[in-house]
A = this chain, B = another copy of it.
């Protein structure tokens, strides 16, 4: 389109392909990647290390299924706070520290925080909500139960449109 100025950093095609691959599966031998991307094994390794150093790859993690742990009860909980002081940042940190709270977003608008809570049963859900309400400065909460997690394991490159990729792309190799 018209705007080709890169926001953020730039990546070549190989990096984008490599990253899209490993963000879905890092349990690979380098031979496959090597052939797939047409580069030597050492070069793949070198690029991966550089991407780690740059902080693009924050880490390598095991993706766990919550279901075997009985963690199949999920709720989206909105949290409103009193706006007397600049407490908001602290309250966010406190929310993030509560067991069972998986994600915390600080939002604009009528509510201040949206959290995603994951627990094993209703009793634990009540406990989490009680903990939230117990935080100083929290005014009220409102929860919605999740009936189905249609897509719940965030990916970065895999979710980008071609246009989004174009914006951060630089050379072709």
**Which residues in A have some Cβ–Cβ distance to B below 8 Å?**
3, 6-9, 11, 19, 22-27, 54-72, 74, 76, 89, 92-93, 95-96, 99-109, 111, 113-114, 116, 118-121, 123-124, 144-157, 159-164, 167-168
Contacts and interface: CB of A to CB of B under 8 A. Distances in A.
A68 B8 contact: yes
Contact of A99 (B109, B121, B164): B164
A63 B52 CA distance: 10
Contacts of A7: 70, 120-121
9 A-B pairs with the lowest CB-CB distances in the bound complex, closest first: A7-B70, A8-B70, A99-B161, A106-B148, A64-B156, A27-B60, A22-B62, A104-B150, A96-B151
A25 B103 CA distance: 19
